[in-house]
Structure 1
Amino acid sequence: MLGRTYAGQNCSIAKSLELIGERWTMLIVREVFLGNRRFDEIATRLNIARNVLTARLTWLVDEGVLTKVRYQERPERFEYRFTEKGIDLWPVIVSLLQFGDQYYAPDGPPVVLRHKGCGGAVDAHRTCATCGQRLTARDVTGEPGPGARPVAA
């Protein structure tokens, strides 16, 4: 396995890749953006080994992208929510999603992003195609698109 450090590179892209460049990390970020914040939800949707998910969630919390919020005391259970640093990853996720939709989704987008306010689609500039509002992660919800498939359990 390749290391995730780019020592000696004075490059903001390399530094960002140290944080999010590992495969599972961005998929976990995607799940949290889609509202799946609990460990078991994320594990089921990604079909990821529990030890790998634990390590990646710990990494994202340690790096200040996510925060753990207890939602149950006995047994103790947590949700993972974005910090402001994590919310700032939204444009990256949207760009990757739209790139994938354009080049790798022959049956249509698996997920469609919609403006919570009016239901309009999110365009390439992260603006609502219906009302023209500039959107942030807090303004948008994801819903199954024409290329969606059932989640493998």
Structure 2
Amino acid sequence: MKQISITTQFTSFENVQELPNEIQDLMAQAIEVRKNAYAPYSNFRVGVAILLDNGKTVLGSNQENAAYPSGLCAERVAIFYAGAVYPDAKILKMAITAASDTNQTKAPIPPCGSCRQSIAEYEIRQKTPIEIYFMGEIGSIYKSESLKNLLPFMFDKKFL
């Protein structure tokens, strides 16, 4: 038997003001679009802002549905919109923020597993990493240089 070790590395920022100006703007847009989340069941609102290499910013918020799992997470709303409207653009950076209607979220909240897999598909397809910044409602922000930090064993078409 052989054990392997996987190491991931993140950059941590204490607050939004520590982020580079471009990312502060991106996170501000994610915070604003979070207000548009339709979350009557979970009371958990997520907002995402994606910066594309063509200079466009794409926004998304989670959209729930009483018929689970028919709703869609904010990350997939934004990334699928980017793929549909700007199919040749590369995703450079993604800012994610999440807040609960019932308690204040202070820890950085990463994308769920389904969203990680969807982001992986785009990162693999474009052959360049996607910088991902994620936070709760307040507090620290984590930066990942690539989705590979969040999903080191990515499943892709080479396994099919």
TM-score w.r.t. length of structure 2: 0.23
Higher relative contact order by CA 8 Å / sep ≥ 6: 1 or 2?
A: 2
Q: Which has the higher strand share?
A: 2
